[in-house]
Structure 1
């Protein structure tokens, strides 16, 4: 796995260097000609998270972001952004930490997005490290698979997982008055952060139930095959149109799964011991999304069918191989609606169906994976002529009754400066999906953010 990770990092570094060189070229050619068209912005925020079980501060860090936007002329744009984090302790978030173990050398800002746009009469071209957001639903988008996402305590607080940029070429244009088409070519595969701790806990529980009781060793328990050079390319297409007053989007993606397919297998020479093996595999996804209004309310529907590459190891009988992933195609769908009342009260509700299982961890023992069904609700109130917004966010697992409920307050202290406080609680016993995570996510989150 270490070799695969090093190979992925090497390709990403090479493409990042290439991207920076391409971006600096138009800047150098047009230096002085558009100095007044350069805009510099950024954001600085400090985040705290205090967990109630056990009582401890598990997040205490300052994050910063710098953005530079330049327009060499009316037919182009250059955009660069850097991000950095200064941790004051190791964060123990839901899927582990993005900052735990950070060395001083890693505290320097890292390149986030870096791309240039060229505007043609009939199409727009974007080249570089970029985030491509597809879909119509709020926060959970089945068709939004081009960028991998991180899942941490921030995602529970902010209702959206952070996207990781990918090196890509995007071309968007119109094919007639009512049809638009977007084509995306991804130059290198970028995986999502691997949830090592939850996967290890799952593997240990499965091994313990293999007669007469198996184990997962502490070392060399995980072996994942990466994506080889020459095979890392991905592509996606999306067509959009207006049908009966509704925006309709049809999409197709051919690339790799953000997380590898996994299985457990016995360790040779160690009776009763198992290791977790995995491989990143290709998938095809066919998506459809629509959004519009019914009366004064908004409605949306988004669905995708994912067909993964078949791996023989996933079909072998246990205990020779214990599959944590499946070769079967799966559906994911979201239907939702929102409405704003005259009293400045906003409500939103979504129903989420995931045939692959849990939204949080896409792995399960053979025969124990059932389709996930969730409800997501938002109630928000912003008093007239007030700089404060009160809200409650709830995510409910409709299969087991467990839920995450998070009331919060966001107050704008000054223009561009805001304070946000949110309490996160869990409803349900330890046998529910969310109840089992209570020690990691029950607590108070606070954030002070200044944008410039």
Structure 2
């Protein structure tokens, strides 16, 4: 849940942007909507991963008297009660921002989601927003969390668009739930040292100060290639949203016996990347690549994360009379600590979307890591009972050999049922 001071900052900045675009005789129109949803799940080991009710309230509005608005605003609040969670009730601010159209510049201030990149499974250049990793195998698009930021989008000549972002407040990603966390890994211990317990972790989150402001930019060029294309380059200076975990030994007062204290730190990084998309006949090709520079390129400091590289190439098409199909291949490599092997993965994601009339839909996704043999299969069925009323039934099947990430999660394979009414 976002703290009260941060909510006040977001509200004040968004209100200031709106006031700059609101002359005395401005017309304001708005729409109030939202959704009520319920979700229940059961895992193969008998656990109940979710038993939740959700409420989302959203206000959308426009300012201006012409055909095109001078400004738009969005305010969204979410509340959730999940009987299966350690803390059942939670409420948070969702998207809450205002956009003013100043000629070729769109200025947006507030709690936003800014999704950079072209692909939708592994996104190396999508680094601005933290993620809700409570369920690490959830749809990546649903994991993005809004965060306070200032965004200026400049629409230039000759198909050039410049996107500039300032993130004044660091918001970390939500860590995976206990069911997804493996056993604690013990550090190398000197002779005669015994660990007799594990203490609560200490988390060091970057403070709200000028030196810790994050910023980035992306330049996109529209190209007359094939049926249409675009290419982008980006740069980002900020922090990783997932922590680097280390551990320290604390004495107990008994010779040779120590307690283990995990420490979670968020590394400052610089990310340089590129992405593209191009239409070739009935196919769309997409790709991304990014290199993350850390403060420990040699891997000599275990408290600091290492450099990383990721690249993705994908294609999608609508088969005649059949499903919409997407295939993506992703390679990821994290540089090792000194004297150790790098962490690598080579993953394919194959997804198909079937639609039968206006009511019934089926999505199937298969992810497989070719280096460790693990993966996941996710079928999901949706049915529109009436206008605004949608039911879902989905499963997540996790597999893999011992020692693989998905293999370690096999007992978390689950079935979920949901019902949502949008108003």
The answer (yes or no) to whether the contact 1:249–1:290 under 8 Å persists in 2 is: yes
From 45, 56, 75, give the equivalent of 1:65. Answer: 56
Partner residue, 1:83: 78
- CA apart distance, 1:214: 4.7
Q: What's 1:39 paired with? A: 31
Give 1:52 shift.
Answer: 1.4
Secondary structure at the aligned position of 2:39 is classed as strand
Structure 2 residues not aligned, in runs of 5+: none
Q: C-alpha separation between the residues in 2 aligned to 1:296 and 1:194?
A: 40
Deviation at 1:347, TM superposition (A): 1.4
Aligned residue number for residue 382 of structure 2: 410
1:149 alignment partner in structure 2: 131
TM-score (norm 2): 0.87
**CA-to-partner distance for each residue in 1:307-352, whole Å, 9 max, x for gaps?**
012399x625xxxxxx37543x211111111111111322111111
Query: Structure 1: 5+ residue runs without aligned partners?
Result: 1-7, 92-99, 317-322, 358-362
Distance in 1 (alpha carbons) for counterparts of 2:48 and 2:97: 37
Tell me the equivalent position of 2:221: 241
Closer, same or farther: CA 86–210 of 1 in aligned 2, 3 Å: same
Shift of the alpha carbon at 1:58?
Answer: 2.3
Partner of 2:220: helix, strand, or coil? strand
- Choose the corresponding residue for 1:293, options 256, 279, 285: 279
- Mapped pair 1:138 → 2:120: yes
Contact kept in structure 1, 2:346 and 2:369, CA below 8 Å: yes
1:69 is displaced (CA, Å) by 1.2
Contact 2:111 2:149 in 1 (8 A): yes
C-alpha RMSD over aligned residues: 3.0
For the Cα contact (< 8 Å) 1:207–1:214, is it kept in 2? no
Per the alignment, residue 17 of structure 1 pairs with 8
Distance 1:31 1:45 in 2: 40
Native 8 Å contact 2:193 2:257 kept in 1: no
Corresponding residue for residue 319 of structure 1:
none
Distance in 2 between the 1:285 and 1:373 partners?
21
Distance 1:365 1:50 in 2: 42
Q: Is residue 170 of structure 1 aligned with residue 151 of structure 2?
A: yes
Matches within 5 A, 1:178-327: 178-195=159-176, 197=178, 201-202=182-183, 204-207=184-187, 214-215=194-195, 217-220=197-200, 222-230=201-209, 231-245=211-225, 246-268=229-251, 271=257, 273-310=259-296, 315=300, 323=302, 326-327=305-306
The match for 1:3 is: none
Q: Is the 8 A contact 1:184 1:235 kept in 2?
A: yes
Measured against aligned partners, the alpha-carbon deviations of 1:20-42 in whole angstroms (never above 9, x if no partner) come to 2344564897899635x111121
When residues 356 and 198 of structure 1 are mapped into structure 2, their CA distance, relative to the original with a 3 A threshold, is farther
- Aligned pair 1:367/2:320, yes or no? no
Which is further off, 178-187 or 260-269?
260-269
For residue 82 of structure 1, give the secondary structure of its aligned residue in structure 2. Answer: strand
Aligned-pair distance for 1:176?
2.0
Tell me if the contact between 2:169 and 2:208 (Cα under 8 Å) persists in the aligned partners: no
* Aligned 8 A contact 1:157 1:424 in 2: no
Give the equivalent residue in structure 1 for 2:372. Answer: 400
TM-score normalised by structure 1 residue count = 0.82
Normalized per residue, which structure has more strand? 2
Kept in 2: contact 1:81–1:112 (CA 8 A): yes
1:187–1:24 Cα change, 3 Å: same
* SS at 2:371 equivalent: coil
Asked whether the equivalents of residues 287 and 312 of structure 2 are also in contact (C-alpha less than 8 Å), the reply is yes
Distance change >3 Å, CA 119–CA 134, structure 1 → 2: same
Q: Deviations over 1:262-292 (max 9, x none)?
A: 3233324664543322422211000100011
Q: Does 1:451 align with 2:422?
A: yes
SS at match of 2:409: helix
Query: Is the CA contact (8 Å cut-off) linking 1:151 and 1:161 kept in structure 2?
Result: no
Determine if the alignment matches structure 1 residue 435 to structure 2 residue 407: yes
8 Å contact 2:300–2:338 — kept in the other structure? no
